[in-house]
Amino acid sequence: MRNNRNFKLILIGQIISLFGNAIQRFALSLYILDITGNSSIYANILALSIVPYIILAPIAGNIADNYNKKYMMILLDIIAGILMIICFILFIFKLDSTFLIAIVMLLLSTISVCYEPVVTSSIPQTVDIDYLQKANSYISQSGSWANILGPILGGILYGFLGIKLILIINGLSFLISAILECFIKFPKHQNTTYKSLNPLSAFIHMKNTLKTLSKNYKIILGIILSYGLYNISIVPIISVLFPTIINLNFNMPPQVYGILESIIASGLLISGVLINLKSNLFKFKTHYKWNYLMPLSMFLVGTLLIISNNINLSMLGITIGGFIIMFCLGIGNIITLTYIQTVVPKNILGSVSALSTAIATASIPIGQVSFGYLIRGNLNIGLILVLSSIIAFFVCSFVKLNIKNNYYLKK
């Protein structure tokens, strides 16, 4: 891995892009809040930016499977960089508006939905199979650091530099990433058939991918389904329930919430580090055992919220429980992604990656709306958590059965 120049270039490009996006997302939320006084507007824009991940998944998979990965990464980064520079110019001439920001976010999401499957399917072509899990853990850690430090840097840069300079910095980060990608060398046997990009052929390609998975790779379909089930039953605990408890029920100041959120998010980072240090503890065939820590922690935290009125004790339980959930999700994401990259044929790996992203992304609002409805129904928060832990237990059991019934590894 230390001498793998191609992977290092991909990783550095990912770090630059991930940090640039994280900083920009947070800065734009502050900017919209400043000009409108309404934080829900940005939330609606973020919800709208999910749409391309769902609609364009077949086209994204077609691009990743049938076009030169190096050229596609370079092209998409250049387009993103130019888009940010155009946005910067419009802001300079005071043509900024919430509508413009919404359009830019939609376009960036469109670029991202095409870019991610290309990167995911390119890693097995640059890394030996024995180092694939370690490579994915590095990518995961980069994303975790970006999610933890991005808002902090975004707040600092927004306060000192303003939104315009952040836009130009992010635009330059995309262009720098494109320059680095010019030096990547993929194997000469890489598939570059350049099939048509029309929607019909893309959907046919995705349909054929689904047929292949259902016939020969049922375990992969189970993994993809589990991503969606996790986002419906477990992830909203972190994104909806815990923020509601901390901010509304306990009325904690934003500074305290920010610290607790960072500690919880660090679970993803620690999972990647631990996989690197103790890879023998995390095998695909048995990794499902870690999943059961999630419903257990949800049940214990829910019980604590029901029986205790001590805010400090409850906050401690929420922080530890949230950290465990994020840690287990991180373990599962890295290990299952590595298995997919190892088993799935390379000519459909991009489509499988796009499909899994579409399923995972489409399920996010379902979970958020469901938990929002339960909270508005004035149910006891602790009881919601206990009931959710039961559902989460069945989801973890589904993951276990999927592995035990369908596990195989092609030699």
Residue 355, exposed/middle/buried by CB under 10 A (0-12, 13-18, 19+)? buried
Decide if 190 is inside a domain.
no
Cα 46 to its chain centre, rounded Å, is: 14
Do 222 and 311 belong together in one domain? yes
- Residues 205 and 29: their CA atoms lie apart, in Å, by 37
Decide if 284 is inside a domain.
yes
Per residue in 149-179, pLDDT tens? 887 788 888 888 888 888 998 899 899 999 9
pLDDT at 15 over 80: yes
Do 27 and 160 belong together in one domain? yes
- Residues 184 and 75: their CA atoms lie apart, in Å, by 14
**CATH number of the domain encompassing residue 359:** 1.20.1250.20
- Helical (H) or strand (E) element with 182: none
Do 36 and 153 belong together in one domain? yes
Do 177 and 204 belong together in one domain? no
Give Rg (Cα) of the chain.
21
Decide if 193 is inside a domain.
no
Number of domains in the chain: 2
Tokens of 310: 């001590």
- Helical (H) or strand (E) element with 175: helix 163-181
The answer to whether 319 and 261 have CB atoms below 8 angstroms apart is no
Per residue in 232-247, pLDDT tens? 999 999 888 888 888 7
409 confidence band (pLDDT: 50, 70, 90): very low
Do 57 and 163 belong together in one domain? yes
Tokens of 62: 């077609």
pLDDT at 227 over 80: yes
Q: Which of 150, 183, 216 is the last residue of a domain?
A: 183
DSSP assignment of 96-110: --HHHHHHHHHHHHH
Do 178 and 39 belong together in one domain? yes
Decide if 309 is inside a domain.
yes
Q: Which residues contact 302 (CB under 8 A, 6 or more apart)?
A: 381, 382, 383, 384, 385, 386, 387, 388, 389
| Average pLDDT of the segment spanning 16-36 | 80
Decide if 189 is inside a domain.
no
Mean pLDDT of the chain: 86
**CB-CB neighbours of 141 under 10 Å:** 22
pLDDT, residue 411, reads 40
190 confidence band (pLDDT: 50, 70, 90): low
Q: Which of 183, 218, 237 is the last residue of a domain?
A: 183
pLDDT, residue 387, reads 94
108 confidence band (pLDDT: 50, 70, 90): confident
Do 235 and 325 belong together in one domain? yes
Tokens of 390: 């039961």
Look at 329 and 66; give whichever has higher pLDDT: 329
Decide if 304 is inside a domain.
yes
pLDDT, residue 2, reads 65
pLDDT at 191 over 70: no
Do 210 and 100 belong together in one domain? no
pLDDT, residue 198, reads 67
| Structural domain span for residue 138 | 1-183
9-18, 142-151, 245-254, 255-264: which is most confident: 9-18
Do 151 and 247 belong together in one domain? no
Tally of CA atoms within 13 A in the half-sphere of 282 that contains its CB = 27
Per residue in 271-320, pLDDT tens? 989 998 888 888 888 899 999 999 999 999 999 999 988 999 999 999 99
Q: Which of 183, 206, 234 is the last residue of a domain?
A: 183
Do 165 and 276 belong together in one domain? no
Backbone angles phi, psi at 369, to 5 degrees: -65, -40
Q: Taking Cα atoms as reference points, which of 382, 381, 379, 340 lies closest to residue 360?
A: 340
Percent of the chain with pLDDT over 70: 94
Decide if 192 is inside a domain.
no
Tokens of 253: 């100041």
Do 203 and 320 belong together in one domain? yes
Decide if 188 is inside a domain.
no
Would you mind telling me the total number of residues written for the chain in this entry?
411
- Residues 64 and 41: their CA atoms lie apart, in Å, by 33
Do 158 and 211 belong together in one domain? no
